[in-house]
Structure 1
């Protein structure tokens, strides 16, 4: 056991690098080589960081308290996950998701399906303010349609995630959007307008790329007879009708009216139970059980079995465990001072708008990499670099834009973050598989960095006029 000093100290850069190497070795070997569950891998890392904290002079009680604090600060996310799990189970049982897929198969052509998915998910996320809710509802439906068209599922997942995060970043009712504006100390609509300069061109380029991809894949791999067979199979196992879309419309409307996410999604799950009983001929109690157990079917048709056998609170239990472990890990990283040391390094390096943009995005990536949660990444991005914007007299709406870009968009590309784990659980595609096709975050980050180094859409704070200057201005 190392000697524990009376006063804890900050880690050195060399010590942080060693910790980073340990972290990467454990995570990548566990996931890629030994195929250990990612929650267990992160739990093992807990004790590496705890030992590191003791080495720096922290007491075990303080380190344990930081774990509890980290979990408490982010506890809303696991609660949303449980609600979404119940929603998926009952909406499949109630025919909501099958009806959306059925109509999608009837209306959409494979060549325009991918950009259509981007647009549909973008609009849904913009209206509801939640990328998670969008992926868990419209996203699942798009995955089913894409599978029928013979498109690679990682490619479809990339379109779903790209559209979902575009809308989420611009929605005034998104929790991360509101949090970013608050942490950056800017007005919410000023932050959203600043984000438009990055997000709008990024989503246009993304949609064009997916259109090209759809032309390459859609026309070659689609089997029209197979598509019709899947549509007929859905129609034979469910009562398909316009009325099945009503729960989805109600939930979207409530979220658009800025109603709380957890009760709204849970109410949507209840509507799924009612629709199962009223329109699908399922007894009420078995329909209610799908909220916990998920929907289960053995149709003998591979497409339907993959689509239907999912959802329920129980299916999300592993993801909830991961979130608790990830949030606790973020608390440990804060307590040991790793975040503060990296903040000081970035502060000394960022001497112009270009470097400042890169440092903010890097700080967000750092928060996701070590904290595994978007709220941690947003805190690190704003706290690590906020004062540098003031020193360079750059408006803080540029900070909020860069923090949002680095703090939320990078997380979906790191396998052990909350966003990546959620998307993997809901869409059924691993992070490593879909990451090359999540084009919106890559393009948005590139545009933000270009703005930083070219000075485009970088706004500066005007110096306050002196008393003499004000006098001259009024007397001329």
Structure 2
């Protein structure tokens, strides 16, 4: 076997610039699928790997390892697609929209969206499931109230990500903690020091925005028209919420996410058959094909014609190609080469915090998947924290902030494509309103450069880390 070497900085820059050129040209100029751009990008990195002395089979192992690290996301996304289809067919989502239009005042709608999505995500541990259920409902309510949809999407995502990264049930929370070698509950407690002030600031911002828009665009006649249209198409009753309650309770009881969401999808199909007058076979088919209606009302059709496993296939392919791309980057040590260029400057908590957030963001940009960021960032940055004797809880917290909260900002990432597709708003349109993400990043940097809530590692932890390093 030939000797292999790390890539030079020039080689890394050339390959990553070519990657960005392929992605941008495919999406912005040629209107070609992002999936194809990611697939082609594999071979850019493979060519670099061959140049560095790797055999093709070794590189393929890197692809397979990267994909296997994120296969749980594929399973959950598949179940979420089925859930969306049957919950619309079963009247669960339409009921949420109807009661939202009935009871939520326009001036507090954005704040209510933030809180509802936060609670849903905290209870269920899934930002994707939250956006695919409560998020769709809040988008429908927001459009009915005349509030700009990118702003509504920003409130939905702020709430969904807030709950997701505080929930011990969340796969991203568990991954960030485990890769940083931190107890999950300790990680969640460390997140509270950052998340609580970030949530309060974000809530104030959305409250101000709500009052700004509440009196300008609200057409009460349109609101009544939408409510009437929903009543004509669906049986709207309070017991339509039972499948949602069952799913939340199961997830609170720490049942596995994928089968729990699948049970929710089955309940949605049963509800569609029992209460919405659908043939059971047709109701079950919405789990795969999604829901389709021709109401003659453009708003209703655009909002509710979605879901199904089939509708998630594009996002699933993005995740697979993105994870494979990230696996190749990890195999070649690309991000390590980048970090090595400024490693000598990692001599303070502030610089280490900034670098962690940057590495996590770049892992989302070039790895195309949140899982890539949450796996690579702790591996790359842990030595810097240990040298400064900084507690690994700070590493896991910064990894979560930089990895999870920026994942939805990248148009070609798994989160960016999923969120844009489900919410019906382009990624770059809703990014300016992801206020929780920006506030959290700012607070993390403030903590880093002021030393606030930057804990020193306990002696026994430092010994454990030293033993771990020597073993490697």
Q: Which moved more, 1:93-102 or 1:372-381?
A: 372-381
Q: Which residue of 2 aligns with 1:203?
A: 199
Given the alignment, which residue of 331, 335, 340 partners 1:339? 335
Given the alignment, which residue of 345, 359, 366 partners 1:363? 359
Separation in structure 1 between the aligned mates of residue 69 and residue 443 of structure 2, nearest angstrom:
32
- Aligned residues of 2:175 and 2:375 also touching (Cα < 8 A): no
Are 1:281 and 2:277 matched, yes or no? yes
- Aligned residues of 2:98 and 2:230 also touching (Cα < 8 A): yes
Q: Which residue of 1 aligns with 2:419?
A: 423
Are 1:263 and 2:247 matched, yes or no? no
Separation in structure 2 between the aligned mates of residue 331 and residue 182 of structure 1, nearest angstrom:
19
- Structure 1 runs of 4+ with >6 Å offset: none
Q: What's the offset of the Cα at 1:268?
A: 0.5
Separation in structure 2 between the aligned mates of residue 195 and residue 233 of structure 1, nearest angstrom:
43
Q: What's the offset of the Cα at 1:45?
A: 1.1
Q: Which residue of 2 aligns with 1:133?
A: 129
Are 1:299 and 2:295 matched, yes or no? yes
Count of residue correspondences: 460
Separation in structure 2 between the aligned mates of residue 405 and residue 428 of structure 1, nearest angstrom:
25
Structure 2 unaligned segments of length 5 or more: list them: 461-472
Separation in structure 1 between the aligned mates of residue 376 and residue 343 of structure 2, nearest angstrom:
12
Q: Which residue of 1 aligns with 2:79?
A: 83
- Secondary structure, in 3 states, of the residue corresponding to 2:415? helix
Structure 1 unaligned segments of length 5 or more: list them: 465-476
Q: What's the offset of the Cα at 1:348?
A: 2.6
- Aligned residues of 1:81 and 1:316 also touching (Cα < 8 A): yes
Are 1:8 and 2:4 matched, yes or no? yes
Given the alignment, which residue of 42, 54, 68 partners 1:72? 68
Separation in structure 1 between the aligned mates of residue 351 and residue 451 of structure 2, nearest angstrom:
11
Separation in structure 2 between the aligned mates of residue 364 and residue 444 of structure 1, nearest angstrom:
14
Separation in structure 1 between the aligned mates of residue 307 and residue 209 of structure 2, nearest angstrom:
30
* TM-score calculated relative to the size of structure 1: 0.94
Deviations 1:152-208 (Å, cap 9, x if unpaired)? 111111100000000111111111111211121222222111111111111111111
- Secondary structure, in 3 states, of the residue corresponding to 2:38? helix
Q: Cα gap change, 1:462/1:268 in structure 2, threshold over 3 Å: closer, same or farther?
A: closer
Q: Which residue of 1 aligns with 2:216?
A: 220
Larger Rg: 1
Separation in structure 2 between the aligned mates of residue 346 and residue 414 of structure 1, nearest angstrom:
24
Deviations 1:81-127 (Å, cap 9, x if unpaired)? 11111111111111000001000000001111011100000011111
Given the alignment, which residue of 432, 439, 447 partners 1:443? 439
Q: Which residue of 1 aligns with 2:146?
A: 150
Given the alignment, which residue of 42, 49, 54 partners 2:50? 54
Q: What's the offset of the Cα at 1:415?
A: 1.2
Q: Which residue of 2 aligns with 1:110?
A: 106
Separation in structure 1 between the aligned mates of residue 102 and residue 334 of structure 2, nearest angstrom:
54
Q: What's the offset of the Cα at 1:462?
A: 5.4
- Secondary structure, in 3 states, of the residue corresponding to 1:410? helix
